Structure 1
Amino acid sequence: MTICAAALFYTKDKGAVLVIAIQYLCPKCAGVTEITDIEKIKNAEDQYPLTCHACGAPFSKDALIKFARQKAEEMINEALFQLKNSSSQGNK
Structure 2
Amino acid sequence: MSVEHESSQIAGLAAGSGYQTFPVAPGYRVNVRSGPGTNFSVEKVLPYGASVTIRCQTPGEWVSGPYGTSNIWDCIGNGLFVSDAYVKTGTDGYVANHCA
What TM-score results when the alignment is normalised by the length of structure 2?
0.29
Structure with more of its chain in helix, by fraction: 1
What TM-score results when the alignment is normalised by the length of structure 1?
0.31
Rg (Cα) greater in structure: 1
Structure with more of its chain in strand, by fraction: 2
Higher RCO, 1 vs 2 (CA within 8 Å, ≥6 residues apart):
2
